[in-house]
Amino acid sequence: MPPSEPADQVPVPPPVSGRALNVPNAISIVRLTCLPLFLWLLFGRDNRAAAAGLLGALGATDWIDGYIARRWRQVTELGKVLDPVADRLLFFVGAVAILVDGSVPLWFAVAVLAREALVAGATLTLAALGARRIDVTWVGKAGTFGLMVAFPMFLASASTVSWRDVAEVLAYVAGIPGLVLSWYSAATYVPIARAALADGRAARHARIGSDP
């Protein structure tokens, strides 16, 4: 009988695959290629309902590529970059496009985009300073989910669908908590970022000290 593992053993992360072209990465690429279609539906065809449906579907598939990569051990270095880039780009482009269209309240869009710009700037700064990678917290994920529901609903509420009044209510029901959680998560990242920066510097100094 094999010995039991300690209860507090740290889980082993999925191995990194050397194959860049796999199912999770293909899903991320497909999601990115849908961006021009979304913009065409919204501005080229002036079809807010179809654009809202597509954006909602893209938001709903936010977790699929990452889940498949972990579940079937198809994690790649490309996927580690492609997945979050696709998520943030879809979110940012969608939010800006709906703001330009005038389907979302100005104060709401500005509050969301200001937070995105703040986090993006902090992320780039930390990376330049050598901080270790920071994982997204469940609060941040919950906030993003609420916002990904809110923006398509705002767009649908400005369309000709019969349930546009319901869509507007759903937009606020999902959007207000999502906005609060997203800003709260940004605040909670401050001590996490400090620790990540300290860890990154310590690791760099350790590497320098180990060099012959």
Q: Specify the pLDDT at position 107.
A: 96
- Residues 90, 59: Cα–Cα separation, whole Å: 8
Q: Specify the pLDDT at position 203.
A: 75
Q: Specify the pLDDT at position 195.
A: 87
Instruction: Read off the pLDDT of residues 112-159 as tens digits, 9 standing for 90 and up.
Output: 999 989 988 888 888 888 878 777 788 988 998 899 999 999 999 999
> In the beta sheet, which residues pair with residue 75?
16
Output the CATH code of domain 23-205. 1.20.120
Q: Specify the pLDDT at position 100.
A: 96
Residue 21 pLDDT > 90: no
Instruction: Read off the pLDDT of residues 55-97 as tens digits, 9 standing for 90 and up.
Output: 999 888 777 777 787 787 777 777 777 777 888 888 899 999 9
Give me Rg for the CA atoms of the chain: 20
Q: Which single residue is written with the structure tokens 């593992």?
A: 5
> Among 135, 126, 132, which residue's Cα sits nearest to residue 199?
132
Domain locations in the chain?
A: 23-205
Helix (H, G, I), strand (E, B) or coil at 75: strand
Q: Which pTM value belongs to this model?
A: 0.80
